[in-house]
Chains A and B, each alone.
Chain A
Amino acid sequence: MGRKLDPTKKEKRGPGRKARKQKGAETELARFLPAVSDENSKRLSSRARKRAAKRRLGSAEVPKTNKSPEAKPLPGKLPKGIFAGAVQTAGKKGPQSLFNAAQGKKRPAPSSDEEEEEEDSEEDDVVNQGDLWGSEDDADMVDDYGADSNSEDEEEGEELLPIERAARKQKVREAAAGVQWSEEETEDEEEEVTPESGPSKEEEADGGLQINVDEEPFVLPPAGEMEQDILAPDLQRVHKRIQDIVGILRDFGAQREEGRSRSEYLNRLKKDLATYYSYGDFLLGKLMDLFPLSELVEFLEANEVPRPVTLRTNTLKTRRRDLAQALINRGVNLDPLGKWSKTGLVVYDSSVPIGATPEYLAGHYMLQGASSMLPVMALAPQEHERILDMCCAPGGKTSYMAQLMKNTGVILANDANAERLKSVVGNLHRLGVTNTVISHYDGRQFPKVVGGFDRVLLDAPCSGTGVISKDPAVKTNKDEKDILRCAHLQKELLLSAIDSVNATSKTGGYLVYCTCSIMVEENEWVVDYALKKRNVRLVPTGLDFGQEGFTRFRERRFHPSLRSARRFYPHTHNMDGFFIAKFKKFSNSIPQSETGNSETATPKNVDLPQVIPKSENSSQPAKKAKGAAKTKQQLQKQQRPKKASFQKPNGTSKGADSELSTVPSVRKTQASSRCQDSSQPAGKAEGIRESKVTGKLKQRSPKLQSSKKVAFLKQNAPPKGTDTETLSVLSPSKTQATLKPKDHHHPLGRAKGVEKQQLPEQPFKKAAFQKQNDTPKGPQPPTVSPISSSRPPPAKRKKSQSRGNGQLLLS
Chain B
Amino acid sequence: MRPLTEEETRVMFEKIAKYIGENLQLLVDRPDGTYCFRLHNDRVYYVSEKIMKLAANISGNKLVSLGTCFGKFTKTHKFRLHVTALDYLAPYAKYKVWIKPGAEQSFLYGNHVLKSGLGRITENTSQYQGVVVYSMADIPLGFGVAAKSTQDCRKVDPMAIVVFHQADVGEYVRHEETLT
- Tell whether B28 is near chain A: CB-to-CB under 8 Å: no
- Tell whether A440 is near chain B: CB-to-CB under 8 Å: yes
Q: Which residues, 422 to 446 on A, are CB-close (under 8 Å) to B?
A: 422-426, 428-430, 432, 434-441
In the complex, what residue of chain A is closest to B84 when comparing beta carbons? A429
- Tell whether A380 is near chain B: CB-to-CB under 8 Å: no
- Tell whether B21 is near chain A: CB-to-CB under 8 Å: no
Q: Determine how close the nearest CB of chain B comes to the CB of A426; give it in whole angstroms.
A: 5
Q: Which residues, 106 to 163 on B, are CB-close (under 8 Å) to A?
A: 108, 135, 137, 139-141
Q: Determine how close the nearest CB of chain B comes to the CB of A442; give it in whole angstroms.
A: 10
Residues of B within 8 A of A438 (CB): 63-66
User: CB-CB contacts of B149-180 with A at 8 A, as 1s and 0s?
Assistant: 00000000000000000000110110011011
Measured CA separation A356–B172 after assembly (Å):
10
Measured CA separation A410–B57 after assembly (Å):
13
Check B62 against A439 for contact (C-beta < 8 Å): yes
Q: Determine how close the nearest CB of chain B comes to the CB of A484; give it in whole angstroms.
A: 29
Contact of B172 among A361, A410, A421 (CB under 8 A): A361
In the complex, what residue of chain A is closest to B170 when comparing beta carbons? A361
- Tell whether A412 is near chain B: CB-to-CB under 8 Å: yes
Check B65 against A425 for contact (C-beta < 8 Å): yes
Residues of B within 8 A of A356 (CB): 173
- Tell whether A19 is near chain B: CB-to-CB under 8 Å: no
Measured CA separation A437–B57 after assembly (Å):
11
Instruction: With a 10 A CB-CB cut-off, give which of B65, B87, B135, B180 has the most chain A CB atoms.
Output: B65
User: CB-CB contacts of B56-85 with A at 8 A, as 1s and 0s?
Assistant: 011100111111110000000000000010
Residues of B within 8 A of A177 (CB): none
Check A362 against B141 for contact (C-beta < 8 Å): yes
CB < 8 Å A-B pair total: 92
Count, chain A residues at interface, CB 8 A: 31
Check B179 against A362 for contact (C-beta < 8 Å): no
Check B62 against A441 for contact (C-beta < 8 Å): yes
- Tell whether A226 is near chain B: CB-to-CB under 8 Å: no
In the complex, what residue of chain B is closest to A322 when comparing beta carbons? B137
Q: Which residues, 139 to 162 on A, are CB-close (under 8 Å) to B?
A: none
Measured CA separation A88–B77 after assembly (Å):
100
Measured CA separation A437–B64 after assembly (Å):
8
- Tell whether A450 is near chain B: CB-to-CB under 8 Å: yes
- Tell whether A223 is near chain B: CB-to-CB under 8 Å: no
- Tell whether B50 is near chain A: CB-to-CB under 8 Å: yes
Query: A358-B135, A358-B141, A362-B141 given as contacts; is B170 within 8 A of A439 (CB)?
Result: no
Query: A430-B169, A436-B67 given as contacts; is B54 within 8 A of A362 (CB)?
Result: no
Q: Determine how close the nearest CB of chain B comes to the CB of A566; give it in whole angstroms.
A: 31
Residues of A within 8 A of B58 (CB): 437, 439, 441, 449-450
Measured CA separation A438–B51 after assembly (Å):
11
Measured CA separation A436–B176 after assembly (Å):
18
Q: Determine how close the nearest CB of chain B comes to the CB of A328; give it in whole angstroms.
A: 14
Measured CA separation A395–B87 after assembly (Å):
19
Check B179 against A359 for contact (C-beta < 8 Å): no
Q: Determine how close the nearest CB of chain A comes to the CB of B91; give it in whole angstroms.
A: 11
Residues of A within 8 A of B137 (CB): 326
- Tell whether A491 is near chain B: CB-to-CB under 8 Å: no
Residues of B within 8 A of A428 (CB): 65
Check B108 against A358 for contact (C-beta < 8 Å): yes
- Tell whether A756 is near chain B: CB-to-CB under 8 Å: no
Query: A361-B173, A362-B141, A440-B64 given as contacts; is B54 within 8 A of A449 (CB)?
Result: no
Check A429 against B54 for contact (C-beta < 8 Å): no
Residues of A within 8 A of B170 (CB): 361
Check B179 against A429 for contact (C-beta < 8 Å): yes
In the complex, what residue of chain A is closest to B82 when comparing beta carbons? A429
Residues of A within 8 A of B62 (CB): 439-441, 449
Query: A358-B108, A362-B141 given as contacts; is B63 within 8 A of A437 (CB)?
Result: yes
Residues of B within 8 A of A429 (CB): 68-69, 84, 172, 179
Measured CA separation A430–B85 after assembly (Å):
10
- Tell whether A623 is near chain B: CB-to-CB under 8 Å: no
Measured CA separation A426–B171 after assembly (Å):
9
- Tell whether A386 is near chain B: CB-to-CB under 8 Å: yes
Check A425 against B57 for contact (C-beta < 8 Å): no
- Tell whether B11 is near chain A: CB-to-CB under 8 Å: no
Check A362 against B64 for contact (C-beta < 8 Å): no
Residues of B within 8 A of A358 (CB): 104, 108, 135, 139, 141, 169
Measured CA separation A565–B97 after assembly (Å):
52
Measured CA separation A450–B140 after assembly (Å):
37
Residues of B within 8 A of A362 (CB): 139-141, 169
Measured CA separation A306–B176 after assembly (Å):
26
- Tell whether B36 is near chain A: CB-to-CB under 8 Å: no
Measured CA separation A450–B62 after assembly (Å):
13
Q: Which residues, 375 to 434 on A, are CB-close (under 8 Å) to B?
A: 386, 410, 412, 421-426, 428-430, 432, 434
Measured CA separation A359–B169 after assembly (Å):
10
Residues of A within 8 A of B104 (CB): 358
Query: A429-B69, A429-B84 given as contacts; is B64 within 8 A of A421 (CB)?
Result: yes
- Tell whether B55 is near chain A: CB-to-CB under 8 Å: yes
Check A450 against B54 for contact (C-beta < 8 Å): yes
Check A422 against B140 for contact (C-beta < 8 Å): no
Contact of B64 among A363, A439, A450 (CB under 8 A): A439
Check A437 against B176 for contact (C-beta < 8 Å): no
Residue contacts A-B, CB under 8 angstroms, 7 given: A358-B139, A426-B176, A426-B180, A436-B65, A437-B54, A441-B58, A450-B54
Give B contacts to A, CB under 8 Å: 47-48, 50-51, 54-55, 57-59, 62-69, 84, 87, 104, 108, 135, 137, 139-141, 169-170, 172-173, 176-177, 179-180
Known: A356-B173, A421-B64, A428-B65. 13 other contacts (CB 8 A): A355-B173, A358-B108, A358-B135, A358-B139, A362-B140, A422-B179, A425-B64, A437-B58, A437-B66, A439-B58, A439-B63, A440-B62, A441-B62
Q: Sorted from nearest, which 9 A-B pairs have the closest CB atoms?
A: A361-B169, A429-B84, A438-B65, A438-B64, A450-B57, A425-B180, A437-B55, A437-B66, A430-B172
